[in-house]
Amino acid sequence: MILNWVNGIDDSDPQLLRRTYRMTSDGIAMILEIIQRHQLNVDRRMDGTLTIYTDAARAEAAHAEVEQHNVLGIPTVFLLARQLRHDFGAHNVYGAVLDPGTGQINGVQLVREMGRVLDARGVEIYERSPVLAMQEGSVNILRTPQGEVRAKAMVIATNGYTGKLGYFRDALFPLHSHVFATESLTAEQQARLGWRGLAGFADDLDRISYASITADGHLVFGGGSNQAYSYCFNNRTAYPGGATRAQHAHAAMAQTLANYFPESRGLPIRYRWAGTLGITMNRQPLIGVRGEHRNVYYAVGYCGHGVTLANVAGKILCDLYSGDETTWSDLPFVNRQYHRIPPEPFRWFGYQMFTRLTGKSPRV
């Protein structure tokens, strides 16, 4: 999904709230404009996404928040439970917030198509050349199996995999989010399911679940329980045994989906995978420049909002590279200190104990 907002932002500050929404909505508009300008072949739909609320008190608080949004010029809409049941087919919910300026985009197509545009402009892209080590200096040196790359400036944009290079190991959890996708559903199956309109939804649970239906009819669903998120000892970024080994996670996820859409029971599952997220303790990204020579730029820790924020981060880093330190200085995640995560083995034990005891995800 392609979404607004930045996780972890203090919503008690109206100006920061409006600034954050405007920044991400401008970022979405930028992505769509690039697609349109270069006529990129990217599947997308921008008919809005929902945040659904599974608790009456949280739904009431969300309703009040929407009223605050509207005063600030933010066009979110609160939907009552009966509207959700009738218009969207969702069960066991007390309300939802519709963000009409959001949607769904095929991220793989976007990356490949943007690569094609860059290639036509003479930019050299080297795939299958993993960086094994990095040496900072007035000229940075990156070592790959085939040789070295030397550059006066470099960007660390490896998100959940960043710790493997020795950067931000004390700031990022590489969290494995388990996901499945059904077979391509017919129009009749979608009607029976009850999903009518909208690109996708996420819920209000701490171990967030999220879903979307692709252009060719696959229902994609992830999250929803402790089983659906995994942290592996010592920041491992490959899920052991592969996604097909996480049968307990997929069973729990199917149950969560059925709670919202009872007719989803028995839908054939076609794909299963685990995706590595970059999660920070306060759920805000880390964007800025570091190093003795101020030539190591970074943008990581999107906490699930990477489609929009990675593109926004590109714009921020371009400004920082050109010497503009002021345009983004009011944002609490640009060139700021971060909340540190304890080292191993305390990290692994702490994560396992906290999540199992509380059903929540560690955060500050």
User: Largest alpha-carbon pair distance within the chain?
Assistant: 62
Could you tell me the pTM of the whole model?
A: 0.94
Do 168 and 286 contact (CB within 8 A), yes or no?
yes
Residue 364: pLDDT band with limits 50, 70, 90: confident
Please report the pLDDT score of residue 86 as a whole number.
84
Calculate what percentage of the chain has a pLDDT beyond 70.
Answer: 99
As a whole number, the mean pLDDT across the chain is 94
* pLDDT (tens digit per residue) in 273-325: 888 999 999 999 999 999 999 999 999 999 999 999 999 999 999 999 999 98
| Measured distance CA(277)–CA(317) in Å, rounded | 21
* pLDDT (tens digit per residue) in 183-215: 999 988 988 898 877 899 999 999 999 999 988
pLDDT at 241 over 80: no
Please report the pLDDT score of residue 198 as a whole number.
86
Mean pLDDT of 113-129: 94
* pLDDT (tens digit per residue) in 122-161: 999 999 999 999 999 999 999 999 999 999 999 999 999 9
Stretch(es) of the chain classified as CATH 3.50.50.60: 131-172+282-358
Mean pLDDT of 259-273: 93
- Burial class for 119, CB neighbours closer than 10 Å (0-12, 13-18, 19+): exposed
**Angle separating helix axes 14-37 and 306-321, nearest 10 degrees:** 90
Residue 88: pLDDT band with limits 50, 70, 90: confident
Please report the pLDDT score of residue 11 as a whole number.
85
Please report the pLDDT score of residue 132 as a whole number.
93
| Measured distance CA(250)–CA(256) in Å, rounded | 10
Residue 62: pLDDT band with limits 50, 70, 90: very high
CATH of domain 131-172+282-358: 3.50.50.60
